Amino acid sequence: MGSLLHVDEVTVVFGGNRALDGAGLRAERGAVTGLIGPNGAGKSTLFDVISGLRKPTTGRVLLDGRDITRLNPSRRAKRGLARTFQRLELFGRLSVRDNLLVAAELGPKRRRAATVVADIIDRLELHAVADATTDTLPTGLARQVEVARAIAARPALLLLDEPAAGQDHTETARFGALLRALADDGTAVLLVEHDMDLVMNVCDEVFVLDLGKVIASGPPSVIRTDETVLAAYLGEV
């Protein structure tokens, strides 16, 4: 075991503003790691840097000890990285099942893609919508499908950007159980989320970002009472 993902001193400058300012974190295999912080803190930008959509001005991203800072997103996907987007990025004209199949075909070839997809449809209880095109789905359900698609690639590192937004209480609880199960299977899960009950219940470790810097990290019990975190973020949630 050990850290699968190391983000080291990453800075991203947008037109003179530092969206990220020397930010670093780690995500371990078999664990759910939370990334929280106020709107505009840099969470989605950090996901862009980790997934290869944005090159950092300075800093490094290591996956399984290898420097992947210069690899493009598809090469990173081949090395086991998958993500979801805060704004949804499904293939709207394709059915739920076909969205999942596209991802499953890209994953490891150990199992048939159709079998992998059938399992995920079972696990996320998506039978009723499996043949619907995704552009007809309400947002909450579309988010579940986006998570399902990321899982279909059977990633070693799964990045989730506000996956519980638009979910009701029951869906969120089921989702938390799913994240635990993925971690128990050995996946490293990195979760950006504003639902603090979900974050505090499901995460093993939490990193707090504010104005592009990591201002605290530790287990949920410590983060919940950290004075700096309360002042910057949790006091408002």
Interface ranges with ligand ADP (CB under 6 A): 14, 19, 37, 39-45
Q: Is 86 in the site for Mg ion (CB under 5 A)?
A: yes
* Among ligand ADP, Mg ion, none, partner that 19 touches (CB below 5 to 8 angstroms by kind): ligand ADP
- 50: enclosing H helix or E strand: helix 43-51
Residue 41 interacting partner from ligand ADP, Mg ion, none (CB closer than 5 to 8 Å by kind): ligand ADP
Q: How many CB atoms lie within 10 A of CB 87?
A: 7
Question: What is the spatial distance between Cα 90 and Cα 75, in angstroms, rounded to a whole number?
Answer: 20
Q: What mask of x and - would describe binding to Mg ion in positions 170 to 199, judged by CB under 5 A?
A: ------------------------------
Quote the least distance from Cβ 89 to ligand ADP, whole Å. Answer: 15
Copy the structure tokens of residue 75: 């090469």
45 binds, among ligand ADP, Mg ion, none (CB under 5 to 8 A by kind): ligand ADP
Side chain identity, residue 116: V
Is residue 44 within the footprint of Mg ion (CB under 5 A)?
yes
Residue 153: both structure tokens together? 């690639």
| CB contact set of 52 (below 8 Å; sequence gap of 6+) | 68, 71, 72, 73, 75, 76
Which of ligand ADP, Mg ion, none does residue 42 bind to, with CB < 5 to 8 Å depending on kind? Answer: ligand ADP
Give yes or no for residue 33 binding Mg ion (CB under 5 A).
Answer: no
Instruction: Please list the residues that pair with 190 across neighbouring strands.
Output: 33, 159
Q: State in angstroms the smallest separation of the CB of 58 from ligand ADP.
A: 16
**3-class DSSP state for residue 44?**
helix
* AA letter at 141: L
For Mg ion (CB under 5 A), the number of binding residues is 3
Q: Which of 58, 48, 26, 40 lies closest to 188 in space, CA to CA?
A: 26
Q: Which does 74 bind (CB under 5 to 8 A by kind): Mg ion, ligand ADP, none?
A: none
| Residue (87 or 109) nearer to Mg ion, CB | 87
Point out which residues bind Mg ion (CB under 5 A).
43-44, 86
